Amino acid sequence: MKYADYACAWFIFAIGMIDVVLTEVMHPPGVILDTALLWIFVAMFNLLRLRNGGSIKGLTMVCIAANLAESVLEVYRMTWSPRPIVVVAVPILFETVFSIVRSRRPRLATAA
């Protein structure tokens, strides 16, 4: 499950970077960089959560909130946007589930 979590986070990051480049190269009318930058930030939060585990207090809650907020925005955006948002909406929803499931796992105490 950890590898799927990493795969989703890197996929969201890659799609965000690709969308930034395509937006700058093609200049489609009405498209701005806010969506792609939001995807990149959500992916960075998730990668930070994966790298640091539970060592940063509150990071898991921030990731859950960011993933949930972005999932809601993507579902709303799917109703009116002609662009294929489902490609990113599903991995973001998976990241929300991964964040919740991993936060409920009991952690072993380790000696420092």
DSSP calls for 14-80:
HHHHHHHHHHHHH--TT--THHHHHHHHHHHHHHHHHHHTTSSTTHHHHHHHHHHHHHHHHHHHHTT
From CA 112, how far away is CA 106, in angstroms rounded? 18
Report residue 28 as tokens. 């489609």
Q: Identify the CA nearest to 37 among candidates 20, 14, 62, 22.
A: 20
- Read off the pTM: 0.85
What pLDDT digit, counting tens, does each position of 34-84 carry?
Answer: 889 999 999 999 999 999 977 888 899 999 999 999 999 888 888 877 667
Cα dist. 64→16, 53, 70, 110 in Å?
19, 14, 10, 25
